[in-house]
């Protein structure tokens, strides 16, 4: 691999494929449809690794992302974001060529969409299981039934079930806390299914956050899962309890451009435009990444004292232990595990594989 002289996001193909294989096997073991979310990697190449694991249906977060993966051979795509009725013309084009599933959360969305649709598509109703972001509350049975009825009266929209992303699992800090969130989700969907089944027959329930999908073993009435971050994982997921550092498949490598011995700080070319400003706090320290090294084919934080502690647009400031500070000179490249791989990958727009050739992998 050539010397790295600019901020570069490395991707370990072996770790990534192992993460994909493990989640695919878990879905199969629990008789769940596996519809992974592609928003983390946004890459046709990583998509091929997912396809190699037997996956035939995927989830995305935007119409543009749906177009990208449709152009790369995917035929069953869910856009897991409240439907944007202003882009119905694009949805019509997509629905002509693939099985397209949307999220519709309000009757007025269904009415507006139906007015302009010329192609048949599917929809989930999004259920808010506790994240307080978007979707209907699981116990708002009246509103849910009303919305199903409205959708079923349309010509071009097929209601196929419910979708949920338990974003509140990201506030967990242990496997036990993740399991408690999953227990709540299962309980909510069990109650919802009892209330809906007599009137509306069978339907699919899809749930998709990485912490619950990684840790849980009880999926109850859930039929499908759509986690996304699991392909790469990151430091945030280690703090949550979803994985260990050895599961992290991406790392930033940045050149050291300055040193300050009195502060034990290294200055790197690597700022907010590369990492994002997503931070985490542990043991009273807020930081944007941890200094790491490849050990036994996995990235591991080098110690508990060396972190990326400050970011401006292009600058990064790493506060180091004495040992780490003395280990790096100006011109060296230093490896940092990102806090949130989804945001870092989106900003970097491409990966460099850790193979001997440093192969480039493009994103959408």
Which of these three, 232, 265, 300, is where a domain ends?
A: 232
pTM of the model: 0.97
> Do 166 and 297 reside in the same domain of the chain?
no
Helix (H, G, I), strand (E, B) or coil at 189: helix
Q: How far apart are CA 15 and CA 238, in angstroms?
A: 15
Establish if 348 belongs to a structural domain.
yes
pLDDT at 272 over 90: yes
The whole-number average pLDDT for the span 306-312 is 98
One domain for residues 80 and 123? yes
pLDDT in tens, 217-245: 999 999 999 999 999 999 999 999 999 99
The answer on 323 and 180 residing in a single domain is no
Return the structure tokens found at 8: 């570069």
Whether 352 maps to a domain, the answer reads: yes
Q: What is the pLDDT of residues 73-130, one digit of tens each?
A: 999 999 999 999 999 999 999 999 999 999 999 999 999 999 999 999 999 999 999 9
Give pLDDT, residue 1. Answer: 63
**Cα–Cα distance for residue pair 70/62, rounded to 1 Å:** 12
Instruction: State how far the alpha carbon of 304 is from the alpha carbons of 125, 132, 315, in Å.
Output: 44, 34, 22
- Say if 220 falls within a structural domain: yes
Degrees (nearest 5) of the Cα angle 40, 257, 238? Answer: 30
Helix or strand run (H / E) with residue 273: helix 272-275
Average pLDDT on 23-39 reads: 98
Regarding whether 166 and 44 lie in a shared domain, the answer is: yes
Q: Is residue 6 part of a domain?
A: no
Give the CATH number for residue 341.
2.40.37.20
Give residue-wise pLDDT tens across range 321-355: 999 999 999 999 999 999 999 999 999 999 999 99
Round the average pLDDT of the chain to a whole number and report it: 97
What pLDDT shows up at residue 321? 97
User: Among 184, 208, 232, which residue terminates a domain?
Assistant: 232
One domain, residues 40 and 161: yes
In a domain, residue 49? The reply is yes
Domain identity same for 250 and 191:
no
Angle at which helix 141-152 crosses helix 107-116, to 10 degrees, equals 10
Task: Assign 356 a pLDDT band (cuts: 50, 70, 90).
Answer: confident
Tell me the pLDDT tens digit for each residue of 179-199: 999 999 999 999 999 999 888
Q: Please check whether residues 61 and 31 belong to one and the same domain.
A: yes
User: Within this chain, do residues 273 and 159 fall inside the same structural domain, yes or no?
Assistant: no
Q: Could you tell me if 283 and 190 lie in one domain?
A: no
The pLDDT score that the predictor gives to residue 166 is 97
Q: Is residue 332 part of a domain?
A: yes
The first and second tokens of residue 131, run together, are: 């994240």
On the question of pLDDT at 158 being above 70, the answer is yes
Q: What is the pLDDT of residue 197?
A: 87
- Please say which residue of 176, 207, 232 terminates a domain: 232
Mean pLDDT across the stretch 270-276? 98
- Which range of residues forms the domain containing residue 309? 244-362
pLDDT for 2 beyond 80 = no
Residue 4 located in a structural domain:
no
Domain shared by 83 and 182, yes or no: yes
Same domain, 102 and 173: yes
Task: Give pLDDT, residue 198.
Answer: 85
Contacts of 218 (CB under 8 A, 6+ apart): 182, 183, 186
What does the DSSP assignment read for 79-116?
EEEE--GGGHHHHHHHHHHSEEEEE--SHHHHHHHHHH
Domain tally, the chain: 2
**Which CATH number is 162's domain given?**
3.20.20.10
Residue 275 sits in the same domain as residue 179: no
- Model pLDDT for residues 292-304, shown as the tens digit of each residue: 999 999 999 999 9
Whether residue 238 lies inside any domain: the answer is no
């Amino acid at each position: 691999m050539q010397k790295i002289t600019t901020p570069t996001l490395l991707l370990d193909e072996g770790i990534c494929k192992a993460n994909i294989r493990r989640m695919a096997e878990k879905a199969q073991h629990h008789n769940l449809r596996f519809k992974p979310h592609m928003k983390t990697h946004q890459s046709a190449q990583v998509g091929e690794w997912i396809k190699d694991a037997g996956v035939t249906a995927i989830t995305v977060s935007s119409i543009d992302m749906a177009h990208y993966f449709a152009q790369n051979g995917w035929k069953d795509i869910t856009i897991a974001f409240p439907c944007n009725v202003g882009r119905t013309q694009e949805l019509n084009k997509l629905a002509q060529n693939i099985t397209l599933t949307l999220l519709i959360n309000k009757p007025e969305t269904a009415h507006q969409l139906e007015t302009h649709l010329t192609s048949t598509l599917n929809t989930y109703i999004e259920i808010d299981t506790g994240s307080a972001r978007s979707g209907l509350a699981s116990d708002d049975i009246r509103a849910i039934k009303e919305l199903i009825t409205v959708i079923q009266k349309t010509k071009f929209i097929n209601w196929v079930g419910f979708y949920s992303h338990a974003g509140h699992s990201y506030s967990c800090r242990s496997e036990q806390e993740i399991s408690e969130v999953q227990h709540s989700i299962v309980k909510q969907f069990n109650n919802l299914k009892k209330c809906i089944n007599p009137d509306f027959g069978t339907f699919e329930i899809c749930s998709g956050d990485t912490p619950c999908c990684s840790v849980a073993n009880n999926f109850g009435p859930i039929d499908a899962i759509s986690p996304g971050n699991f392909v790469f994982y990151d430091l945030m997921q280690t703090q949550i309890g979803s994985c260990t550092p050895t599961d992290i498949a991406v790392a930033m490598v940045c050149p050291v451009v300055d040193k300050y011995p009195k502060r034990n700080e290294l200055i790197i070319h690597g700022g907010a435009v590369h990492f994002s400003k997503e931070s985490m706090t542990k043991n009273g320290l807020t930081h944007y990444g941890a200094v790491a090294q490849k050990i036994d084919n996995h990235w591991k934080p080098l110690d508990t004292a060396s972190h990326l502690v400050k970011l401006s647009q292009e600058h990064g400031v790493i506060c180091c232990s004495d040992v780490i500070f003395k280990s790096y000179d100006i011109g060296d490249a230093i490896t940092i595990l990102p806090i949130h791989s989804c945001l870092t990958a989106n900003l970097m727009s491409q990966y460099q594989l850790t193979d001997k050739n440093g192969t480039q992998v493009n994103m959408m």
